[in-house]
């Protein structure tokens, strides 16, 4: 397995954890972030912190993007036009949706990059632990060029087809995540409304076929009113909008997700912009 030189663009909650694991694997790494101060701590992990996108990607074999949306990815990549190594691989891990993946496929072609569309399942904790699940898609002949990177950032990589298939599967996965979060909040609120301790709902599921670590984590956060963002509400609404657009564009009525999205928006409008999607529970409790 050849060790690539990697440029990682975007060192927020997800990107920082990914960067540390890439550096820990002994892979040469440059990092860039729009706010350079957020990237500087990664120098302690062995990454070279760059002041410009062009500096970061110059000579890099693999360019990873972990940003906000398709437009921010496109803008960032275009800032480095002319600085990419010939035939460098774009490992695009941002959640961008169906149209966004197609948009970035065109941008990659214009810039001479090989596009691997590879959004990830997992939040800040799994990113820090190297336990992301990568939903990878793209040309088969480019896959071995990113093996070392994928091993560093994830516990498992699922190759799902041509570029864009990963983003489509990510929408289905996030529809489940958001809907499940909303369902847990609803059941806890209903338990309380019926005059019972809502913890009893989680206790009833414990150890049975309906139990899941995610249910316990989000449910516990709701009951403790601890909403430090692992998957922030603004990101949840952004992803919900991508899912709704894709579903309706394929003649599917995503009624459950629409309801959860509306709840998240109400919580956002109440001022809880820096909280986790688990704060959807506030829609019941105030």
**C-beta separation of 61 from 84 below 8 A:** no
Q: Which of 55, 108, 104, 61 is nearest to 80 (CA)?
A: 55
48, 106, 124, 170: which is the annotated catalytic residue?
A: 170
Please give the Cα distance from 78 to 101 (Å, whole number): 16
- Classify 174 in phi/psi space as left (phi over 0), alpha (psi -120 to 50) or beta: alpha
- List CB contacts of 127: < 8 A, sequence separation 6 or more: 13, 14, 15, 16, 17, 18, 21, 120, 153
Contact criterion met (CB below 8 Å) for 141 and 129 = no
Of 218, 151, 209, nearest to 181 by C-alpha is: 218
**Residue matched to tokens 């989000």:** 218
With contact defined as beta carbons under 8 Å apart, do 181 and 260 qualify?
A: yes
Strand partners, 157: 134
| Cross-strand bridge partners of residue 114 | 89
170 is catalytic: yes
Q: Where are the alpha helices (DSSP H) in the chain?
A: 13-24, 36-39, 53-57, 70-79, 97-111, 124-129, 147-153, 165-193, 199-205, 213-224, 233-249, 255-269, 282-285
Closest to 231 measured CA to CA, from 35, 133, 95: 95
Q: Which of the residues are catalytic?
A: 170
């Amino acid at each position: 397995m050849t060790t690539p030189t990697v440029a990682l663009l975007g060192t927020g909650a997800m990107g920082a954890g990914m960067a540390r694991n890439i550096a820990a694997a002994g892979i040469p790494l440059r990092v860039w972030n729009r706010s350079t101060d957020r990237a500087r701590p990664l120098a302690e992990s062995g990454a070279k912190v760059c002041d410009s996108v062009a500096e970061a990607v110059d000579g890099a074999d693999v360019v990873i993007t972990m940003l906000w949306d398709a437009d921010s990815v496109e803008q960032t990549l275009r800032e480095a036009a002319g600085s990419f190594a010939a035939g460098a691989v774009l490992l695009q891990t941002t959640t961008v949706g169906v149209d966004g993946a197609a948009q970035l496929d065109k941008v990659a072609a214009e810039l001479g990059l090989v596009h691997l569309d590879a959004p990830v399942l997992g939040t800040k904790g799994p990113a820090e632990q190297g336990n992301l699940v990568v939903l990878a898609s793209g040309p088969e002949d480019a896959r071995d060029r990113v093996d070392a990177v994928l091993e560093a950032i994830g516990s498992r990589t699922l190759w799902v087809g041509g570029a864009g298939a990963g983003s489509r599967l990510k929408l289905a996965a996030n529809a489940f995540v958001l809907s499940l979060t909303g369902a847990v909040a609803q059941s806890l609120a209903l338990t309380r409304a019926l005059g019972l301790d809502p913890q009893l709902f989680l206790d009833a599921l414990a150890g049975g076929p309906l139990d899941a670590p995610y249910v316990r984590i989000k449910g516990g956060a709701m009951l403790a009113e601890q909403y430090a963002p692992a998957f922030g509400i603004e990101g949840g609404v952004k992803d919900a909008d991508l899912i709704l657009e894709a579903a309706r564009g394929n003649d599917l009525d995503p009624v459950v997700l629409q309801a959860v999205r509306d709840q998240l928006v109400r919580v956002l409008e109440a001022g809880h912009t820096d909280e986790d999607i688990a704060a959807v529970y506030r829609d019941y409790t105030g």
